[in-house]
């Protein structure tokens, strides 16, 4: 297994994960419902966003993938098992909304397409929630998406991607932030994320209760260092 930055050559594999993922996570299903992916305009919108995320010239986004060795590849599933998309704008000293593809009118809809209108509205709510809950962190990485191919579920690849993200955050002296639905809340809590408070992501016809969560790798490193010193003292 290798964790690396995505390239343009990974576009098809990542789109395959997005379009075939069947998740019980309420937030994922709110943003990327299976029915919406049957709509050509919506699917093209997602493809356009993904191309911007993985563009090597766009330094405000980091897309990491888990690449499997040939011996571990499930036939027909490809060698990309999982991927994570990180918003790095704040780390780079920019506004997180300034260059965010979701917020800059990419494939803007006039309201006639239900799925596009819905997606844009929910993303506006996410942007508002991020600013409200994470403004206290001068530097922060925001986990936009983490997804695993259905053939590689429950094998720990998402955790490996998060740990790799922690290392990037440590090097940049940044916090790690995420908005999580109920299932995601359990997942991130188990990895050391702290609850920053609830919010409701609401649309015209449905809504979901989500949580703002954060993890500070620098604090975790200091805590581990203190414990290591104590154990060294206690056993010597």
Q: How many helices (H) and strands (E) does the chain have?
A: 7, 7
The separation between CA 158 and the C-alpha centre of its own chain, rounded to angstroms, equals 10
Q: How much is the pLDDT for 97?
A: 58
Measure the CA–CA gap between 208 and 11, rounded to whole angstroms.
Answer: 29
Average pLDDT of the chain, as a whole number: 84
Which residues is 228 bridged to in the sheet? none
93 forms beta bridges with: none
Q: Tell me the pLDDT tens digit for each residue of 39-77.
A: 999 999 999 999 999 999 999 999 999 999 999 999 988
Helix axes 40-54, 11-20, angle to 10 degrees: 140
pLDDT given at position 223: 44
The three-point CA angle 160-164-165 to 5° equals 115
Kindly indicate the confidence band of residue 231, based on its pLDDT and cuts at 50, 70 and 90.
Answer: very low
Local confidence band at 146 (pLDDT 50, 70, 90 cut-offs): very high
What integer pLDDT is reported at residue 222 of this predicted model?
Answer: 45
- Return the closest-CA partner of residue 62 out of 74, 70, 52: 52
Band of residue 196 on the pLDDT scale cut at 50, 70, 90: very high
CA distance 129 to 79: 35
Q: Domains in the chain, please, with CATH?
A: 2-234 (3.40.630.30)
Does residue 94 have a pLDDT over 50?
yes
pLDDT of residue 233: 43
Q: How far apart are CA 164 and CA 76, in angstroms?
A: 27
């Amino acid at each position: 297994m290798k964790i690396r930055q995505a390239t343009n050559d990974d576009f098809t594999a990542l789109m395959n994960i997005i379009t075939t993922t069947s998740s019980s996570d309420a937030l994922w299903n709110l943003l990327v419902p299976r029915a919406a992916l049957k709509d050509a305009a919506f699917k093209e919108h997602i493809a356009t966003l993904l191309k911007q995320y993985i563009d090597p010239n766009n330094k405000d986004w980091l897309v990491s993938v888990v690449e499997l060795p040939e011996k571990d590849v499930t036939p027909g599933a490809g060698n990309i098992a999982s991927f994570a998309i990180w918003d790095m704008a704040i780390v780079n000293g920019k506004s997180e909304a300034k260059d965010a593809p979701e917020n800059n009118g990419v494939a803007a809809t006039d309201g006639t397409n239900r799925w596009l209108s819905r997606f844009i509205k929910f993303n506006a709510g996410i942007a508002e929630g991020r600013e409200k809950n994470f403004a206290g962190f001068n530097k922060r990485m925001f986990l936009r998406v983490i997804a695993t191919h259905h053939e590689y579920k429950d094998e720990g690849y998402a955790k490996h991607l998060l740990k790799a993200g922690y290392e990037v955050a440590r090097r940049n002296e940044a916090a790690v932030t995420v908005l999580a639905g109920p299932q995601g809340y359990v997942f991130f809590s188990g990895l050391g994320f702290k609850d920053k408070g609830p919010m409701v992501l609401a649309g015209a016809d449905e809504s979901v209760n989500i949580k703002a969560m954060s993890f500070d790798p620098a604090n975790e490193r200091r805590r581990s260092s203190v414990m290591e010193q104590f154990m060294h003292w206690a056993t010597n």
